[in-house]
Amino acid sequence: MNERQKIPAVDRVLLQLPDLIEAHGRQPVTACVRAELAAAREGARHGLPLPEEAALLAAIRRRAEASARPHLRPVFNLTGTVLHTNLGRALLADEAVALMTEAARSPCALEYDLASGGRGDRDDLVCELLVELAAASLPADAYAATVVNNNAAAVLLTLNALAQGKEAVVSRGELVEIGGAFRIPDVMRRARVKLVEVGATNCTHERDYAEAIGPRTALLLKVHASNYAVVGFTKSVDEKAIAGIAHAAGVPFVVDLGSGALTDFTAFGLPAEPMPQQALAAGADIVTFSGDKLLGGPQAGLIVGRKELIARIKKNPLKRALRVGKTTLAALEATLRLYRDPQRLAARLPTLRLLTRPVAGIEALGQRLLPAVQAALGERAAVTLQPCASQIGSGALPVERLPSAALALRPPGHRTGKALAALEAAFRALPIPVIGSVQGDALRFDLRCLEDKDEARFTAQLAQLKF
């Protein structure tokens, strides 16, 4: 009998894995058994010995566990970017998570009016809150709001609803590109709106807007350049002046704020960021902004503005294609309610809590972690605690930095490229992957986003590092 003939039958192997079948189901486990037996058969064909039974069963278990592991996994974000687009942006508050879970588990009044017993409007779940917070100094009965799945969708829908087949005037210096190579001109083209550029890359004046208005002008658009900064000889027109020009011509003024902070960041010792309250108070008719960036909520695009314009936007067929579901609305409502209590906002909203975290606390955490990380690495790298600078991320305040502290892991020797790559891979392979950044000769773990409550989970898994 040759080696391949000694390979056990699938059914015989399955009889030894009842607990695995109970955990994952017979069909997935059968697929794993067949895959491992096929690998053993291929190895035998090339003269390799068959694996021992224990090794075969262990390999099947590893394959089954890996196959069952969710693709969307939690990670430790130690990159130094608080709102990291690739890592999910804002962390949700406990209140938002609780309301999302309740909405997911139970039937809920999503589009059902409990007062009348008739059909409701899902936007009503958050409309009053959005108007209360974003149009705080304005007559509430003159403003309304609607929600779509992100700010790019908010801009697309607004432009298509208010300017399809016509022209929108925007400064050349605001034709931004956001992540993934999405550009404002491309969004406008998809919205079937003709772009009219005014001004120069670095300077735009009031007369540029006024002279560009013609019979086919549908609106004036201002885009907050949130992900880059132009310095030196620059000139832009403020929102109040553009609003005056737009209203004198009888066209609406739309402001795309992108990140859209809903509270005054300077009150928390952070750099100032434009707010929808300011844009609307300055005369903007519509303002769009994100829910999952500086606002600290779920991914959503928020549109707040004059009631008659919001009504036009909501009637657009694209609105249904871009609307959000019940769990997003639940998280958004819970997040917005936190803003009603500004005195406790920094403690309850994770985004603001991480952005305002004191450096002394981050350094103290680093001092506690350093011995454990060094012990886990041994001679593979020297670990030091160093000052560093975090960034807010997701296009917000691109040139501003927050003082922080990082663990720097430096492999010995001069040619450290492969060693750093191995370190990165080892930390990414942990049960809760640790994501840092390579800078120069070190792998750095910025500790701003590792809160004290997660310290034990971080250190407990260091023993599982494999190189």
DSSP state string for 369-430: HHHHHHHHHGGG-EEEEEEEEEB-BTTBSTT--EEEEEEEEE-SSS--HHHHHHHHHHHHTS
Q: Find all residues with CB under 8 Å of 127, minimum gap 6, and list them.
A: 144, 145, 146
pLDDT score recorded for residue 225:
75
Query: pTM of the entire structure?
Result: 0.91
- Return the top range by mean pLDDT from 46-50, 260-264, 379-383: 379-383
Task: Render pLDDT for 354-367 as a digit per residue (tens, 0 to 9).
Answer: 999 999 999 999 99
pLDDT score recorded for residue 338:
97
Task: Render pLDDT for 32-84 as a digit per residue (tens, 0 to 9).
Answer: 999 999 999 999 888 888 899 999 999 999 999 999 999 999 999 999 999 99
> What percent of the chain is modeled with pLDDT above 70?
95
Nearest Cα to Cα of residue 167 among 212, 233, 222, 134 = 212
Q: Which two tokens stand for residue 228?
A: 């880059």
Long-range pairs, 343-348, Cβ under 8 A, ≥24: 345/263, 346/268, 348/93, 348/94, 348/95
Please say whether the beta carbons of 311 and 229 come within 8 A: no
Q: Find all residues with CB under 8 Å of 196, minimum gap 6, and list them.
A: 167, 168, 169, 170, 212, 217
pLDDT band, very low/low/confident/very high, at 4 (cuts 50, 70, 90)? low
Task: Render pLDDT for 383-400 as a digit per residue (tens, 0 to 9).
Answer: 999 999 999 986 655 667
Other residues' Cβ atoms within 10 Å of the Cβ of residue 304: 27
Give mean pLDDT, residues 155-173: 95
